[in-house]
Amino acid sequence: MQWRDGTKGHLSASFAAIRVRVADGPKVIGHNRGPGEEAWLVCEKRANGVRKYYLSNYPPDTELGTLASVIKARWACEQAHQQMKEELGLDHVECRSWHALHHHALLTMMAFAFLQHLRNAEKNAWTQRLTA
């Protein structure tokens, strides 16, 4: 399955999924935990042989393509979080309340959105200059 084009071509992998019950239910006598709620166990096998496994609480009727797309969409969120920490100081907060932490995180996200807006505007202007 191909999910997007990367800098070196198409990004693709093989996916398989099965419904499982994770052992995170209530404690059972003589055992650590009993079976919990059903979840998707998704296996990704990349072209280089590397395998990755994911758990998802999506509904049972979810298609494999949807599961794979959602898993791969997570990369953009992780990149944004990393950039907010490195460029905007998301991780440089010393506060004593949830309110202050949320305030700092919100301001950081707003600054990131503004920077992305500027980056996209510059990219569009550059593209227009090249095509003119």
Q: What are the pLDDT digits (tens) for 44-64? A: 998 888 999 999 999 999 999
Could you give the angle at the alpha carbon of 79 between the alpha carbons of 77 and 84, nearest 5°?
Answer: 95
Tally of residues, the chain: 132
Percent of the chain with pLDDT over 90: 45
> Which of the two residues, 3 and 94, has the higher pLDDT score?
94
Supply 32's token pair.
């650590």
Q: Which residues pair with 15 in a beta bridge?
A: 44
Domain range annotation of the chain: 1-74, 89-132
CA terminus-to-terminus distance, the chain: 37
Which position has the higher pLDDT, 77 or 109? 109
Asked whether the predicted pLDDT for residue 129 surpasses 80, the reply is: no
- How many angstroms separate the CA atoms of 70 and 118, rounded? 27
Q: Which of 18, 22, 16 is nearest to 40 (CA)?
A: 18
